[in-house]
Structure 1
Amino acid sequence: MELTFVKCSGKYDGLTIVRHDGTTDSIACPKQRIIPHEMVHYAVESVLSNRGFLSLIREGQSAAFTTGGEDSSEAIERMVETFQAELWGERASAADLISTYEHACEARGHSIATVSADDVEAIRDRLSELTLQWDSLPQNGALTVRF
């Protein structure tokens, strides 16, 4: 699957998704002063094998769906939120990030996806690469990744 993120003017950036079968979807990504939320999903889901939002889209779900409380996708959503919070603030130790993630899952009453300190560092590396690429894009510039 190909994901093309476009840095737009205004309140939203864009994402066009092209699945392996050629079907497409588009998402308006609210600007959040860091990389788009769905790009954080890409970083997390491309490192881990758990099924999250992008994995479900790759399997044929419409981009307009919500995860609907499926336990594995909710666990990935909490992980994406944890990494987003770190992008907005300061980097914590891998152990502290994992603890924060586990607490968020427990507070929402769903399972915890297995994540190691090595996974955290791999996701952080991917987020750093994406952030550098995204920040260097001009308005209307595009960044395409394969998932």
Structure 2
Amino acid sequence: MQLIFTKGSGKYDQMEVVRDGVSVESIACPKQGIIPHDMVHYGVESTLHKRGFVNRILHGEAASFQMEADAESDGVERLVEVFQADGWSGWTSASTDMLDLYQVTCDARQCAPLALDEEDIEAVRNKLLELSAQWQAVSVGGSLVLAFV
């Protein structure tokens, strides 16, 4: 599967889901000042090999904001939120602080956290920094193609 992120000129970017060379879905991604939310999902899920939004799409679910609850996916979503907050803060939060925030976020949402350590946080952050650099180099109307297997 490929995810094709296209940088928009207005309030939205686009994510196109391509399976076997055929576009099957397109999703409007509200701009948030960092990489798109679903690109953060890609970075988290491709690094940690966890079942979240992108992995569920890979396995045939429709890309929807109303997917059924799933313990691992819920844990991934909370982690994506923590990484977004880190991105909005300049990608500089201490790994231990991020793990603490992740625990608080999971507790607040009554969600079981994924088993993570500081090395996991740093691995995901490095992937997100790489994606951020690639996304910044894309001009309006241009695209970044990411493979997800």
**Normalised by the shorter chain, which TM-score bucket?**
over 0.9
1:1-147 alignment runs, 5 A limit: 1-20=1-20, 22=22, 24-90=24-90, 91-147=92-148
CA shift at 1:21, angstroms? Answer: 8.1
CA contact (8 A) 2:45 2:51 kept: yes
How many positions carry a matched residue from both structures?
147
Structure 1 Cα separation of the partners of residues 115 and 24 of structure 2: 31
Identity rate, percent? 43
CA–CA distance in structure 2, aligned partners of residues 119 and 20 of structure 1: 31
- Mapped to 2, the partners of 1:49 and 1:20 lie a distance apart of 21
**Secondary structure of 2:4's aligned partner:** strand
1:67: Cα distance to partner? 3.0
Gaps of 5+ in 1: none
Offset, 1:20? 4.4
Q: Which blocks of at least 5 consecutive residues in structure 2 are unaligned? A: none
Cα displacement string for residues 65-123 of structure 1 (whole angstroms, at most 9, x for unaligned residues): 52332221111000000000000014221111011001100111111111121111111
| Partner AA of 1:124 in structure 2 | R
Alpha-carbon RMSD across the aligned residues, in angstroms, is 1.4
Aligned-partner Cα distance in 1 for 2:77–2:104:
13
CA distance in 1, matches of 2:98, 2:67: 23
4+ residue segments displaced more than 4 Å: 20-23
Deviation at 1:50, TM superposition (A): 1.9
Query: How far apart are residue 19 of structure 1 and its match?
Result: 2.5
TM-score, scaled to structure 2:
0.93
Instruction: Determine helix, strand or coil for the equivalent of 1:145.
Output: strand
Letter paired with 2:41: H
